[in-house]
Amino acid sequence: MQSHRQYSGPRDHQIALGLTLKHAAVRAFQRHHNRLCRAHPEWAEELKIELADATAVRLARLIHARISGDTVAVGPGAKSFTAKLDRVAAKLTSEGPAANIVDERLIRNLLRSEFQP
Protein backbone atom coordinates (compact mmCIF):
# COMPACT_ATOMS: atom_id res chain seq x y z
CA MET A 1 0.00 0.00 0.00
CA GLN A 2 1.10 3.45 -0.80
CA SER A 3 1.03 6.03 1.88
CA HIS A 4 -0.56 9.26 0.89
CA ARG A 5 0.84 12.36 2.50
CA GLN A 6 -1.73 14.91 3.27
CA TYR A 7 -0.97 18.47 2.34
CA SER A 8 -0.68 20.38 5.56
CA GLY A 9 -0.74 23.83 3.92
CA PRO A 10 2.01 26.37 3.50
CA ARG A 11 4.83 26.52 5.93
CA ASP A 12 5.45 29.59 8.08
CA HIS A 13 8.42 30.69 5.99
CA GLN A 14 6.28 30.54 2.83
CA ILE A 15 3.62 32.69 4.48
CA ALA A 16 6.23 35.20 5.64
CA LEU A 17 7.78 35.36 2.17
CA GLY A 18 4.34 35.88 0.57
CA LEU A 19 3.49 38.69 2.98
CA THR A 20 6.85 40.34 2.40
CA LEU A 21 6.42 40.20 -1.38
CA LYS A 22 2.86 41.52 -1.12
CA HIS A 23 4.00 44.39 1.12
CA ALA A 24 6.82 45.30 -1.29
CA ALA A 25 4.45 45.20 -4.28
CA VAL A 26 1.88 47.42 -2.55
CA ARG A 27 4.51 49.98 -1.59
CA ALA A 28 5.95 50.05 -5.12
CA PHE A 29 2.47 50.49 -6.58
CA GLN A 30 1.65 53.33 -4.18
CA ARG A 31 4.88 55.17 -4.97
CA HIS A 32 4.25 54.87 -8.70
CA HIS A 33 0.55 55.74 -8.38
CA ASN A 34 1.21 58.81 -6.21
CA ARG A 35 3.77 60.09 -8.70
CA LEU A 36 1.31 59.71 -11.57
CA CYS A 37 -1.60 61.34 -9.74
CA ARG A 38 0.33 64.39 -8.59
CA ALA A 39 -1.03 67.63 -10.03
CA HIS A 40 1.04 69.15 -12.81
CA PRO A 41 0.71 72.85 -13.66
CA GLU A 42 1.02 72.22 -17.38
CA TRP A 43 -1.96 69.83 -17.24
CA ALA A 44 -4.03 72.47 -15.47
CA GLU A 45 -3.09 75.05 -18.11
CA GLU A 46 -3.93 72.61 -20.91
CA LEU A 47 -7.28 71.91 -19.25
CA LYS A 48 -8.02 75.65 -19.13
CA ILE A 49 -7.22 75.97 -22.83
CA GLU A 50 -9.40 72.97 -23.74
CA LEU A 51 -12.26 74.31 -21.62
CA ALA A 52 -12.03 77.74 -23.27
CA ASP A 53 -11.95 76.10 -26.69
CA ALA A 54 -15.01 73.95 -25.93
CA THR A 55 -16.84 77.03 -24.67
CA ALA A 56 -15.93 78.95 -27.81
CA VAL A 57 -17.22 76.11 -29.99
CA ARG A 58 -20.53 76.13 -28.11
CA LEU A 59 -20.78 79.93 -28.39
CA ALA A 60 -19.98 79.73 -32.12
CA ARG A 61 -22.93 77.36 -32.57
CA LEU A 62 -25.13 79.74 -30.62
CA ILE A 63 -24.06 82.74 -32.70
CA HIS A 64 -24.86 80.87 -35.91
CA ALA A 65 -28.30 80.12 -34.49
CA ARG A 66 -28.72 83.75 -33.42
CA ILE A 67 -27.77 85.03 -36.88
CA SER A 68 -30.33 82.60 -38.35
CA GLY A 69 -32.98 84.18 -36.13
CA ASP A 70 -33.40 81.36 -33.61
CA THR A 71 -33.96 82.02 -29.92
CA VAL A 72 -30.76 81.02 -28.13
CA ALA A 73 -31.47 82.04 -24.55
CA VAL A 74 -34.43 82.56 -22.25
CA GLY A 75 -34.78 83.61 -18.66
CA PRO A 76 -32.76 85.99 -16.51
CA GLY A 77 -29.58 87.06 -18.19
CA ALA A 78 -30.83 86.21 -21.66
CA LYS A 79 -31.03 89.85 -22.65
CA SER A 80 -27.40 90.62 -21.83
CA PHE A 81 -26.24 87.30 -23.29
CA THR A 82 -28.00 87.87 -26.60
CA ALA A 83 -26.75 91.47 -26.63
CA LYS A 84 -23.18 90.18 -26.48
CA LEU A 85 -23.91 87.69 -29.25
CA ASP A 86 -25.44 90.49 -31.30
CA ARG A 87 -22.29 92.63 -30.86
CA VAL A 88 -20.15 89.79 -32.17
CA ALA A 89 -22.60 89.20 -35.03
CA ALA A 90 -22.45 92.91 -35.89
CA LYS A 91 -18.65 92.73 -36.08
CA LEU A 92 -18.92 89.75 -38.39
CA THR A 93 -21.53 91.27 -40.69
CA SER A 94 -19.81 94.67 -40.80
CA GLU A 95 -17.08 93.08 -42.85
CA GLY A 96 -19.48 92.78 -45.79
CA PRO A 97 -19.18 89.86 -48.21
CA ALA A 98 -16.06 88.64 -46.44
CA ALA A 99 -18.27 87.70 -43.48
CA ASN A 100 -19.66 84.83 -45.49
CA ILE A 101 -16.25 83.18 -45.62
CA VAL A 102 -15.28 83.88 -42.02
CA ASP A 103 -13.70 80.83 -40.47
CA GLU A 104 -14.59 79.37 -37.09
CA ARG A 105 -11.31 80.53 -35.57
CA LEU A 106 -12.18 84.20 -36.11
CA ILE A 107 -15.61 83.66 -34.60
CA ARG A 108 -14.08 81.94 -31.58
CA ASN A 109 -11.58 84.75 -31.08
CA LEU A 110 -14.31 87.41 -31.27
CA LEU A 111 -16.45 85.43 -28.83
CA ARG A 112 -13.55 84.98 -26.40
CA SER A 113 -12.85 88.69 -26.42
CA GLU A 114 -16.53 89.51 -25.85
CA PHE A 115 -17.25 86.95 -23.12
CA GLN A 116 -13.93 86.98 -21.28
CA PRO A 117 -14.35 88.13 -17.66
pLDDT band at 101 (very low <50, low <70, confident <90, very high): low
Q: Note the pLDDT tens digit of each residue in 40-76.
A: 777 778 888 788 788 878 888 888 888 888 888 888 8
2 inside domain: no
> What is the number of domains present in the chain?
2
What does pTM read for this prediction? 0.51
Residues 34 and 87 in one domain: no
Whether 88 maps to a domain, the answer reads yes
d(CA 78, CA 117): 17
| 8 A C-beta contact, residue 55 and residue 113 | no
What is the distance between the alpha carbons of residues 75 and 56, in angstroms, rounded to a whole number? Answer: 21
User: For residue 75, what are the domain limits?
Assistant: 45-115
Are both 22 and 78 inside the same structural domain? no
- Whether residue 23 sits in one domain with residue 49: no
**In a shared domain, residues 53 and 26:** no
Q: Is residue 15 part of a domain?
A: yes
What is the sign, positive or negative, of the torsion defined by CA atoms of 62, 63, 69, 71?
positive
Phi then psi dihedrals of residue 7, to 5 deg: -75, 125
Q: Same structural domain for residues 60 and 96?
A: yes
Residues 49 and 84 in one domain: yes
